[in-house]
């Protein structure tokens, strides 16, 4: 296990740090743009790239790249929502996502405003839909940016800290502890489970704000 894990970590670390950081940032641009977050695994990109962090400067640079990439992607989503939002919603991809999810995103944004922008960064589906939905709403771009920037910073810092910390700890004890590889995997699994649990708790707490009123109530 140690040999296999060490080889994988060495493979990631063998990529030039600048290139690795730029690729991670580019992946985040794609992850947060125009519904691509539904297929591009941003969480995985953040964790894998962070396992190669070897210095404090690489740590800070990766957080910055992931945050800036996310902000660029969400800004693109906002701009496209402002200009082409209804067309995207009626497109094949938009219809595939389901009208129900669009309505939920609209309802959530209308009820929670900036809080919906912040929280959606940590929720599946919504983190891809909200930038487009905000673009179709009266919310100004600077207001959108003020809410999404701290969310992107928090998200990036959490993932890079866990990935870099787990990989760094593994490298320190790998030669002395036979089961170090299992401990590394266990740390990542525990973090992944914690993320899922937290997302479900947040989603459960926010669910009532996403549910549109019954049609008869809306008409009344």
Q: What share of the chain in percent tops pLDDT 70?
A: 82
Ordered DSSP codes for 59-101: HHHHHHHHHHHHHHHHHHHHHHHHHHHHHHHHSHHHHHH-HHH
CA dihedral 41, 42, 47, 53 (to 10 degrees): 130
- Contact between residue 167 and residue 51 where contact means Cβ atoms under 8 Å apart: yes
Structure tokens at 199: 């997302």
Tens digits of residue pLDDT in 25-50: 988 888 777 666 556 677 888 888 99
pLDDT at 63 over 50: yes
Nearest to 159 by CA among 31, 44, 13, 11: 44
* Domain boundaries of the chain, sorted by first residue: 16-164
Return d(Cα 145, Cα 74) in angstroms, integer: 9
Structure tokens at 23: 């690729």
Structure tokens at 114: 């900036």
Q: Give 119's DSSP letter.
A: H
Return d(Cα 210, Cα 104) in angstroms, integer: 5
Q: How confident is the model at residue 182 (pLDDT cuts 50, 70, 90)?
A: low
Q: Give 40's DSSP letter.
A: S
Tens digits of residue pLDDT in 9-21: 667 777 888 999 9
Mean pLDDT, rounded, for 168-182: 62
Q: Cβ neighbours of residue 1 under 8 Å, at least 6 residues apart?
A: 179, 181, 182, 185
Q: How confident is the model at residue 198 (pLDDT cuts 50, 70, 90)?
A: confident
Ordered DSSP codes for 143-193: HHHHHHHHHHHHHHHHHHHHHHHHHHHHHHHTTT-TTHHHHHHHHHHHHHH
Mean pLDDT, rounded, for 154-179: 77
Mean pLDDT, rounded, for 126-143: 92
pLDDT at 170 over 80: no
Residue 140: what are its φ and ψ, rounded to 5°? -80, 155
What percent of the chain is helix, strand and coil (3-state, nearest 5)?
Answer: 80, 0, 20
């Amino acid at each position: 296990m140690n040999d296999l894990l060490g080889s994988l970590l060495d493979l990631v670390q063998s990529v030039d740090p600048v290139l690795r950081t730029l690729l991670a940032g580019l992946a985040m641009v794609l992850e947060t743009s125009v519904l691509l977050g539904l297929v591009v695994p941003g969480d995985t990109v953040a964790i894998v790239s962070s396992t190669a962090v070897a210095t404090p400067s690489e740590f800070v640079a990766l957080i910055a790249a992931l945050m800036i990439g996310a902000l660029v992607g969400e800004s693109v989503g906002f701009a496209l929502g402002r200009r082409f939002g209804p067309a995207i919603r009626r497109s094949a991809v938009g219809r595939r996502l389901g009208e129900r999810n669009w309505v939920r995103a609209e309802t959530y944004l209308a009820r929670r405003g900036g809080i919906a922008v912040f929280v959606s960064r940590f929720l599946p589906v919504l983190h891809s839909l909200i930038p487009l939905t905000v673009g179709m709403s009266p919310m100004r771009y600077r207001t959108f940016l003020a809410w999404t920037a701290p969310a992107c910073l928090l998200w990036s810092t959490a993932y890079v800290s866990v990935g870099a910390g787990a990989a760094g700890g593994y490298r320190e004890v790998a030669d002395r502890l036979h089961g170090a590889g299992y401990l590394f995997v266990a740390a990542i699994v525990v973090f992944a489970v914690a993320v899922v649990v937290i997302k479900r708790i947040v989603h459960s707490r926010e669910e009532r704000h996403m549910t549109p009123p019954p049609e008869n109530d809306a008409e009344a």
